[in-house]
């Protein structure tokens, strides 16, 4: 998998099952989303297997799957990106994944980047703004303060992706701050028209 240099747009599935979710995921992939993280509140191997079967294999490299799913199913030649939760970032778990596999993880403190940049190609930082999908999940430091600390810490990292409360109203602030991309969750799935919202946001950053 290659990572583009332009500002990237990722989408994270909402915690609960969503009507026609497979259809929306396929549409987002056709529209050029950089990646979709298949994340659910209650992990389900069956759900992820179903998504993988329903999505054209040409898009599998854009799907981000949980490490737990990879570990349970013993995949050796998987094309998708594998996501490690903080608790899963152990030497033992990392040794189970081929060295050339694209890995992602999530952080809530930029100081963690120093030890992660060599292993993980994609790192999601949150929350940048108050979360839309998680009530009372608020930013720890302002975007202005984040901006001061971003560039010195991202030299070995392919993508630092902003997450949390990102909408069409503030996406350009995220881009200007120095992030390599943004991940959308509430602004997509809390909308009556998720695909139209994605198109709007994509147009704003074009």
**How many other CB atoms are there within 10 angstroms of residue 64's CB atom?**
23
Which parts of the chain fold into alpha helices (H)? 21-30, 45-54, 67-73, 91-94, 113-116, 143-150, 171-177, 186-189, 194-205
Domains of the chain: residue spans and CATH: 8-205 (3.20.20.70)
Give the lowest-confidence range in 87-96, 143-152, 161-170, 172-181. 143-152
pTM for this one? Answer: 0.90
Give the lowest-confidence range in 22-26, 38-42, 75-79, 181-185. 75-79
Nearest to 164 by CA among 152, 155, 175, 174: 174
* Cα distance between residue 204 and residue 111, in whole Å: 30
* Cα distance between residue 82 and residue 103, in whole Å: 5
Q: Binning pLDDT at 50, 70 and 90, where does residue 17 land?
A: confident
Considering the chain, what is the average pLDDT of its residues?
87
For 35-50, give one letter per residue: b (16+ CB within 10 A) or e.
bbbbbeeeeeeebbee
Q: What is the pLDDT of residue 4?
A: 57
């Amino acid at each position: 998998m290659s990572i583009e240099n332009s500002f990237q747009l990722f989408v994270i599935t909402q915690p609960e099952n969503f009507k026609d979710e497979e259809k929306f995921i396929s549409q987002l992939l056709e529209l050029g989303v950089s990646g979709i993280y298949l994340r659910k509140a209650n992990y389900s191997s069956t759900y992820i297997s179903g998504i993988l079967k329903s999505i054209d294999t040409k898009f599998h490299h854009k799907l981000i799957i949980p490490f737990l799913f990879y570990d349970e199913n013993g995949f050796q030649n998987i094309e998708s990106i594998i996501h490690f939760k903080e608790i899963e970032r152990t030497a033992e778990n990392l040794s189970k994944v081929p060295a050339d596999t694209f890995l992602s993880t999530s952080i809530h403190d930029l100081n963690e980047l120093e030890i992660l940049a060599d292993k993980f190609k994609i790192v999601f930082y949150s929350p940048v703004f108050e979360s839309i999908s998680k009530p009372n999940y608020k930013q720890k430091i302002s975007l202005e303060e984040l901006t001061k600390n971003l560039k010195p810490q991202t030299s070995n990292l392919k993508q630092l992706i902003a997450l949390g409360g990102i909408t069409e109203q503030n996406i350009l602030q995220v881009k200007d701050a120095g992030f390599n991309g943004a991940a959308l969750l509430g602004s997509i799935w809390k909308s009556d028209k998720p695909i139209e919202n994605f198109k709007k946001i994509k147009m704003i950053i074009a």
